[in-house]
Amino acid sequence: MCVSNICEEHAKNELERLAKLIYYYDRLYYLKDASPISDYEYDALRIRNKEIEMRFPDLVRFDSPSKRIGVEGSERFDKVEHRVPMLSIENALSDKEVYEFIKRIKRFLRLSKESFLEFTVEPKIDGLSLALRYERGELIYASTRGDGRFGEDLTANARVIPDIPCVLRGICPKVLEVRGEVYMNHKDFLDLNKEQKKIGCMIFSNPRNAASGSLRQFDVSVTAARRLKFFAYGWGVVSDIPSDTQLGMVKCLSHYGFRVNPLTELCHNAESMIRSYRFFEKNRFALSYEIDGVVYKVNSLFLQKRLSCLSRSPRWAIAYKFLPEKAMTVLRAIDIHVGRTGVLTPVALFDPVIVRGVVMKKATLHNDYYISGDRRDLRLGDTVIVQRAGDVIPQIVDILLEKRLNTSIPYMFPSSCPSCHSPIVRYGQGYRCIKGLLCPAQALERLHHFVNAFNIKGLGIERIKKFFYSVSSSIAIKSPVDIFTLENRQKCSLDLNKLENMKGFGKQSLRKIYNAINARRVVVLSHFLFSLGIPHVGELVALRLARYYISYALFENSVKESLRNKDKTLNKAFKELLSIEGIGLVIAEAILNFYNDEYNSIFLERLLKEITILDEECFSIGNSPFLGKTIVFTGCLKAMSRAEAKTRIKNLGAKAANSISFKTDLLVIGSAPGLKLKKAADLGIQMMNEEEWMAIISSYDHVH
């Protein structure tokens, strides 16, 4: 659905779905070296999330992908803190977005349209980001990006990569953190996969995953044998900046002994930037390594500092990604996946096809409308066009009707649930199974959701399936309660049903699972409410409920009171529930329906005997003088643009508003103020001039 047409309730649900989905894909990409969707599809998810947030700024989630960089590092490696956050780069997918990028910069800096700006352009290497800290010219540690604040310590592995000097050349800053990309060229990638196949080991799907997997090894000799390479392109902490431009800094890195990309060049306008992109797009296959676009950066370091950064990316840089490639294959089957809430999602299975070294076998079809609606008529046996941008699962973009078999027939969507064979009903543009937890597929997905919400380590989806489908009463886990009774049931079981005697479960690994389960017997209220899997109650809604009621006892009593009186218009508890920010009628009814269900009541009674729910703590982001305040600006600011000023106060925990109201806490006055000044005076709102405001924020401002 187009963002301009969605309602607020739909937007909330969509942002919740996108936050979970993007986090799931990020974990696979950064920790498992796996890419289940294409770069293009992933970027499309982030773009949709951003568009919805721009239309509904009050709905931005605390766990929004727009605020997050990567994911937390693997527990296999020690963590290293980035003194300067290691950010991601915003993406552009069209020429128009590059022009908009330049306009935003000029607008932020209050430069005229004709103002001269220099940008560096460099190929975007498809590899693994690495930060290298040097002190007095010697390599101290190397770490991955991780979640932007903490990365994985891979110092020993970095030392065996020939392109990474252990000691720098010449005179360099006392402290220098160099950032760049570890990658593997095409020939070494193909040679590695040949060797892996010969010895019966895992075949890597693409050079990026091969580079990441090769670097993140406990055995350093494996890393050394993989012929990894490194391009330096940036920096973090530097005790003494040796240049005042991006290109100058890259040249300095070259003098210190690093390999830098010789194709990096300067551009002076949008047209030359686009020409550079076209050149790399046309000639990328002639390169010995994989690139998936180009990166533009403002050349002036002074302007970079003024532009500062958003929560997950710098304002002064953008990556223009190549559009996805396409391939032809044959559709063989359509599988139906049943999700946690009973929604049926069709998945296309087709003949394996290789695009730029990646094998692709399936793609989501979203719903039945995607198969047979909007002039589509997808049939088994059809020859289809799929596209990708560097990963595994593609998107079906076209059907070659001229190749269709005469014997083909239209696809008929199933009339019952493939898991429990119960009737299905229309749900939005798709279908939904109505059996709830009596449907095995939904029960399994709900169980998986609970484990993720409680963050119980050692219980991945495959292991959960083994427990779920077990016929032994001492092993089976059919509901979340069974997770917490597993250890006691095992103690009372016969040797035949002892997990420690089964393949994949040794005493040590089993003890780790029990410890992980027991560590989650105490949970805060917001996590508990989210874990229940109540429809429409995502992490943000659960957090809002928890912060309002504080304790589970108060929340439960309010729900029970709401259920007692059937006339909701006279029910104080129900009215109170609806008064909570972000809680509408749909969510409130979903909560009551969940608690009114007899099966859920029994489940909750049993679960509460196994766990302790802690009260929710109040949230604070620091001791900023503007924390929680609503601030409005009027007049022309001398020190910075209005956009930059709003960014400063947001970093200090305040909210920037455009108009004066009773909710306004402070009016900052620039030169030639407008009507806001009079309205603020009439309402008795606190006011200060720009100089007073600047004096205060200079003591608290942490924007780099």
Distance, in Å, from the CA atom of 476 to the CA atom of 437, rounded to the nearest integer, reads 16
Amino acid (1-letter code) at residue 141: Y
Q: Is the pLDDT of residue 531 over 90?
A: yes
In contact, 425 and 431? CB cutoff 8 Å: yes
What local confidence, expressed as pLDDT, does residue 704 receive?
33
The upper half-sphere exposure of residue 409, i.e. CA atoms within 13 Å in the direction of its Cβ, equals 2
Considering the entire predicted model, what is its pTM? 0.49
Q: Is the pLDDT of residue 405 over 60?
A: yes
Q: What is the mean pLDDT of the chain?
A: 86
- Find the helix packing angle between 186-198 and 207-215, rounded to 10°: 70
pLDDT band at 32 (very low <50, low <70, confident <90, very high): low
Class for the domain spanning 325-403: mainly beta
pLDDT band at 238 (very low <50, low <70, confident <90, very high): very high
Q: Select the more confidently predicted residue: 684 or 168.
A: 168
Q: pLDDT tens across 296-318, in order? A: 999 999 999 999 887 778 999 99
Distance, in Å, from the CA atom of 366 to the CA atom of 349, rounded to the nearest integer, reads 13
- Find the helix packing angle between 572-579 and 585-596, rounded to 10°: 130
Q: pLDDT tens across 484-511, in order? A: 999 999 888 776 678 877 777 878 888 8
Distance, in Å, from the CA atom of 272 to the CA atom of 594, rounded to the nearest integer, reads 59
Distance, in Å, from the CA atom of 134 to the CA atom of 396, rounded to the nearest integer, reads 48
The upper half-sphere exposure of residue 620, i.e. CA atoms within 13 Å in the direction of its Cβ, equals 6
pLDDT band at 621 (very low <50, low <70, confident <90, very high): very low
Is residue 609 annotated as part of the catalytic site, yes or no?
no
Distance, in Å, from the CA atom of 203 to the CA atom of 212, rounded to the nearest integer, reads 13
Q: Give the largest CA-CA distance in the chain.
A: 84
What local confidence, expressed as pLDDT, does residue 254 receive?
95
Distance, in Å, from the CA atom of 612 to the CA atom of 552, rounded to the nearest integer, reads 10
Fold topology of 630-700: Rossmann fold (3.40.50)
Catalytic residue among 124, 229, 362, 646, which?
Answer: 124
Weakest-pLDDT range from 25-34, 143-152, 690-699: 25-34
Q: Kind and range of the H or E element at 219?
A: none
Distance, in Å, from the CA atom of 326 to the CA atom of 354, rounded to the nearest integer, reads 10
Give the single-character DSSP code of 385.
Answer: E
- Identify the CATH homologous superfamily for domain 523-614: 5' to 3' exonuclease, C-terminal subdomain (1.10.150.20)
Per domain, the residue ranges of the chain are 3-67, 91-321, 325-403, 437-520, 523-614, 630-700
Distance, in Å, from the CA atom of 434 to the CA atom of 416, rounded to the nearest integer, reads 10
Q: In terms of Cα–Cα distance, which of 388, 325, 310 is closest to 101?
A: 310
Q: The tokens 């009737």 sit on which residue?
A: 423
In contact, 516 and 457? CB cutoff 8 Å: yes
Question: Can you read off the two tokens belonging to residue 611?
Answer: 């766990």
Question: Can you read off the two tokens belonging to residue 2?
Answer: 């187009």
Q: Kind and range of the H or E element at 505?
A: none
In contact, 36 and 391? CB cutoff 8 Å: yes
Q: pLDDT tens across 216-233, in order? A: 888 888 999 999 999 999
The three-state secondary structure class of 202 is: coil
Structural domain 3-67, CATH architecture = Orthogonal Bundle (1.10)
Q: Is the pLDDT of residue 390 over 50?
A: no
CA 289 to chain centre: 26
Distance, in Å, from the CA atom of 71 to the CA atom of 65, rounded to the nearest integer, reads 10
What is the total residue count of the chain?
704
Mean local confidence (pLDDT), 32-60: 77
Partner residues linked to 416 by β-bridges = 423
Amino acid (1-letter code) at residue 579: S
Q: Angle 214-220-221 (CA atoms, 0-180°, nearest 5)?
A: 90
Partner residues linked to 331 by β-bridges = 350
Fold topology of 437-520: DNA polymerase; domain 1 (1.10.150)
Q: In terms of Cα–Cα distance, which of 44, 62, 25, 31 is closest to 527?
A: 62
Question: Can you read off the two tokens belonging to residue 319?
Answer: 């990556």
Task: For the beta carbon of residue 68, count every other beta carbon within 10 angstroms.
Answer: 18
Q: Is the pLDDT of residue 622 over 80?
A: no
Q: pLDDT tens across 422-440, in order? A: 999 988 778 889 888 789 9
Class for the domain spanning 91-321: alpha beta
Distance, in Å, from the CA atom of 39 to the CA atom of 123, rounded to the nearest integer, reads 16
Distance, in Å, from the CA atom of 547 to the CA atom of 526, rounded to the nearest integer, reads 8
In contact, 221 and 159? CB cutoff 8 Å: no
Distance, in Å, from the CA atom of 259 to the CA atom of 241, rounded to the nearest integer, reads 19
Mean local confidence (pLDDT), 548-561: 92
Partner residues linked to 235 by β-bridges = 178
Identical fold for domains 437-520 and 523-614, yes or no, is yes
Question: Three-state SS across 5-64?
Answer: HCCHHHHHHHHHHHHHHHHHHHHHHHHCCCCCCCHHHHHHHHHHHHHHHHHCHHHCCCCC
What local confidence, expressed as pLDDT, does residue 118 receive?
96
Weakest-pLDDT range from 108-112, 521-525, 643-647: 643-647
